[in-house]
Structure 1
Amino acid sequence: MEIRKIKAEDTWPVRHRVMWPNQPFDFVKVDEDHEGIHYGLFVDDELVSVVSLFLKDGKAQFRKFATEVEHQGKGYGTFLLNYLLKETEGLHVSSVWCNARTEKAGYYERFGFLKTDATYMKGGIEFVVMEKVLV
């Protein structure tokens, strides 16, 4: 297992297959992709999990965190998220936040993220903004 930085376009197929398979391919791209730091977790040179990190206003946001369905439940996503959180420690940010699917909020709570009052709907799915204060 290896984590390395990848290009934004390398994340798109995984994002599409895992997060929004019934949407057009471009639905998984974000305007700021060219500004992000993108990480991929590889198992035997196969890209199985991705996450993108964006820095703005002294905070870090991770987006589009996805693990291939056939590799879920094996700890790869947890390993990648722990790696990402460790990376943020050296970036001098006050917090890390994400837009979590509401049904996945419990997963992020295990990492010290707390739900905020901010929620919204996208593509028929409810999301909640979650944040972990670092300082």
Structure 2
Amino acid sequence: METLIQIEQIFPSLTWRIRHEVMYPDMPFDSVKLKDDFDGVHFGLYLNHKLTGVVSLFHQGDVYQFRKLAILNEAQKMGLGSKLMEYILDFCKIQKATELWCNARVNAKEFYFKFGFHETKDTFFKDGYDFVIMELKF
């Protein structure tokens, strides 16, 4: 059977279950809700019609930040995170963004290097993880 992948804009609350399950399963469910979720643009990746991955985009002017990129555990290592990244990169280019940045978990920064992101000197520790701010200029 052929694999069907679709990416579309979704309502913010549809991101919460996957964020919780993948990123912070040991924390309270409400901890994955962002105070500005309803100001962002959210995308869902559907694998064979099942919501399997999510990412959220926020912007101030022409500078965009993506947050909470997550793929269900059973679907990781299939290139789905890369598909979502390519999608939001294209979206940002269409929106004429000048920069895209994220708070990357240090153990995931190699993933972002593949898309041209660069590490900044800004690092922090939160919720048990080391983060580095990574950015891409368009």
| Smaller-chain TM-score bracket | over 0.9
1:18-57 correspondence to structure 2 within 5 Å: 18-57=22-61
Runs of 4+ in 1 over 2 A off after TM superposition: none
1:91-110 map, 5 Å: 91-110=95-114
Match status 1:117 vs 2:114: no
Deviations 1:17-68 (A, max 9, x none): 0000000011111111001000000012100010000011320000000000
AA aligned to 2:41 is: I
Once residues 90 and 62 of structure 2 are traced to their aligned partners in structure 1, the CA distance between those partners, rounded to angstroms, is 16
Counting matched residue pairs gives 134
Q: Aligned pair 1:63/2:64, yes or no?
A: no
Which ranges in structure 1 are unaligned for 5 or more consecutive residues?
Answer: none
State the SS of the aligned residue for 1:121: strand
Unaligned runs of 5+ in 2: none
Aligned residue number for residue 79 of structure 1: 83
Q: 1-side partners of 2:38 and 2:92: how far apart?
A: 19
1:14 maps to a residue whose letter is: I
Taking structure 1 as the reference length, what is the TM-score of the superposition? Answer: 0.97
Letter in 2 for 1:26: D
Root mean square deviation, CA, Å: 0.7
Report the TM-score when normalising by structure 2: 0.95
Cα deviation digits, residues 92-134 of structure 1 (max 9, x gap) = 2210000000010111011000000111111111000000000
CA distance in 2 between counterparts of 1:112 and 1:122 reads: 25
- CA deviations on 1:72-94 (whole Å, 9 max, x unpaired) are 00011111110110010011221
